[in-house]
Amino acid sequence: MIKFIQTNFTKWAVLGLVMFASFHASASELSESLKKSDYVLLMRHALAPGVGDPAGYKLQDCKSQRNLDAKGREQAQRTGQWLKAQGVGNALVFTSAWCRCKETADNLAFGTPVLEASLNSFFDDMRQGSQSNSNLQKFIAHQLKTKGDKALILVTHHVNIAEFMGENVGSGDMVLAKVNAAGKMLSFKIYPSP
């Protein structure tokens, strides 16, 4: 009887350790950082072939814009799955008003994304870069104060990310940025599109 109890206790102890280890293995450096109040994840929209938008495009008319193709939609879905596999389970997602960003944000599948003007592209007038970046920093600072332990994910354009961090990233790439209380970037790590 004692041997039976010891054997079952050992099995339960091993099972408990395996479950404990798998729970902690699902959390990653990325997910743990995004729970903190000084990290934000910026993502360039997924693959949308071409450069800029056609002349005369309208934000209210997706057909008039450069949009995600099938590979871009699949890339955005894969990214959402990858983020969840990294342990990012709860996120606030904000997006530019451009359809390629909105569709990317939707395909991440973290709930309904919210439009945010400071994420809008200034590609058509690069002189707006400095002001756009200032607005983005203010937005980040405000959101980080109120987000709790949710991840803050911002889907935007290459020009916005380049102005914010000083480097270009590829379609669908993500930037984990550590920021100060004013939303200014202190350091970053690039996560290539999975």
CA dihedral defined by 163, 133, 28, 24, rounded to 10 degrees? 180
Number of domains into which the chain is organized: 1
Give residue 156's domain range: 28-191
CATH of the domain at 167: 3.40.50.1240
Rounded Cα distance between 32 and 89, Å, is 11
Question: How much is the pLDDT for 9?
Answer: 47
Return the HEC string of the chain: CHHHHHHHHHHHHHHHHHHHHHHHHHCCHHHHHHCCCCEEEEEECCCCCCCCCCCCCECCEHHHCCCCCHHHHHHHHHHHHHHHHCCCCCEEEEECCCHHHHHHHHHHCCCCCEECHHHCCCCCCHHHHHHHHHHHHHHHHHHHHHCCCCEEEEEECHHHHHHHHCCCCCCCCEEEEEECCCCCEEEEEEECCC
Look at residue 10 and tell me if it is in a domain: no
pLDDT in the model for residue 23: 38
pLDDT score recorded for residue 26: 52
Indicate whether 145 belongs to any domain.
yes
Residue 148 tokens, joined: 């709790």
70-85 and 99-108 are packed helices; what angle lies between their axes, rounded to 10 degrees?
40
Q: Is residue 108 in a domain?
A: yes
What pLDDT, on the 0 to 100 scale, is given for residue 5?
47
The two structure tokens encoding residue 7: 């054997």
6 within a domain of the structure (yes/no): no
Per-residue model confidence (pLDDT) at position 2: 52
* Residue 47: predicted pLDDT: 98
**Domain-located, residue 9:** no
Say if 23 falls within a structural domain: no
Q: Residue 27's pLDDT is what? A: 74
Its pTM stands at 0.86
Nearest to 70 by CA among 113, 115, 114, 103: 103
Q: Is residue 21 part of a domain?
A: no
Question: Which residues of the chain register pLDDT less than 70?
Answer: 1-26
Q: Report the pLDDT value the prediction gives residue 24, as an integer from 0 to 100.
A: 40
